[in-house]
Amino acid sequence: MAFALITGASGGIGLSIARELAKQKIDLLLVARSTENLLKVKTELEENNKIKVEVFSVDLSLPGSAQSVAEWVERNSFPVNMLVNNAGYGVWGSVDKTPLNQLTNMMQLNMASLTEMCHLMLPELKKHGQSYIMNIASTAAYQAVPTLSTYAATKSYVLLFTRGLRRELINTPVSVTCVSPGATSTGFVDRAGMSDFLKDRAEKFSMKADDVAKVAVRGMFNKKAEVIPGLMNQITVLLTYFVPKRLTESIAEGLYKSKS
Ligand SMILES: NC(=O)c1ccc[n+]([C@@H]2O[C@H](COP(=O)([O-])OP(=O)(O)OC[C@H]3O[C@@H](n4cnc5c(N)ncnc54)[C@H](OP(=O)(O)O)[C@@H]3O)[C@@H](O)[C@H]2O)c1
């Protein structure tokens, strides 16, 4: 049986997506940096679901890393009919005060590696009767977010790239879906370096990763172009189409201002 390849599958939303697909008896190829965490997930999912799980450790914020994933797939002749580009992170803070390498690594992971994974896996995905690509963006893709400016811009890229790719592949067996979660309880806020005040506030509005994953997987199998999990997130995104940009940007600026 063909595999689903998921990046960033050792924790957070990616792990929840892996669990959701495992419940449906889909074999999995899991990618992240931490070998230890990946092996724990492999044991859990194989034991609970009687499926095959293979893991590959790589830092996708490094140039050439997507190529190494594709080579691993090819070397092992893994058939792949699902690609979930989920690995990504945010860096919180003003552009001028953030070390440049943090911004460029994030851009490499969120945009370049995601694009490379699509490019490199498409020949394999096209071999199957029906295949799927799910790219994870964010509700931040729909508007500028001061102090998460670069992150929001990378997610805008993911959204537009994914919509374009979907149209390019419309007459092929590959269906392409962009999923844009809002705040979700994961390791995201810690990795972004947000203050405790912002973490507490984010927690109040957060969805559970398992709920996000359920909606995401359903949307992918229903061949949706865009999926925004959660009614509040859908309303927030809808407003960005009608409310003047300077207003949504100043609300976002206020939301992400730290008290400390
Ligand atoms: N949580 C939110 O509020 C939220 C909202 C909107 C969108 N999103 C998006 O959802 C996706 C998943 O985020 P999350 O919240 O689940 O974050 P998370 O809990 O921090 O999990 C991130 C996953 O990606 C892996 N990862 C991180 N950096 C990596 C790298 N350089 N190379 C390979 N794998 C890497 C991590 O494993 P290792 O550390 O072992 O590498 C982990 O498995 C991201 O694209 C994020 O932008 C999240």
| CATH ID of 3-255, from 3.30.450.20, 3.30.420.10, 3.30.70.20, 3.40.50.720 | 3.40.50.720
pLDDT(259) > 60: no
Pocket test for ligand 1, best of 10, 68, 198 (most atoms within 8 A of CB): 10
Quick: pLDDT tens for 19-74.
999 999 999 999 999 999 999 999 999 999 999 999 999 999 999 999 999 999 99
Pocket test for ligand 1, best of 13, 38, 101 (most atoms within 8 A of CB): 13
| Among protein residues, the one whose CA lies closest to atom 7 of ligand 1 | 138
Q: Give the orientation angle of helix 149-168 with respect to helix 114-125, to 10 degrees.
A: 20
Quick: pLDDT tens for 137-169.
999 999 999 999 999 999 999 999 999 999 999
* Confidence (pLDDT) at 43: 98
Nearest ligand 1 atom to alpha carbon 88: 45
AA letter at 95? V
Nearest ligand 1 atom to alpha carbon 181: 6
Quick: pLDDT tens for 192-209.
888 777 777 777 789 999
Q: Which two tokens stand for residue 105?
A: 């690594």
CA of 102 to the centre of ligand 1 (A): 15
Residues lining ligand 1, judged by CB closer than 6 Å? 8-14, 32-34, 37, 59-61, 86-89, 109, 136, 138, 181, 183-184, 186-188, 191
CA-based end-to-end distance of the chain: 52
Whether the model clears a pTM of 0.95, i.e. scores above it, the answer is yes
Nearest ligand 1 atom to alpha carbon 10: 43
Q: Are strands 80-85 and 27-32 parallel, antiparallel or unpaired?
A: unpaired
Percent of the chain past pLDDT 90, that is, above it, reads 90
Farthest-apart Cα atoms in the chain, separation: 54
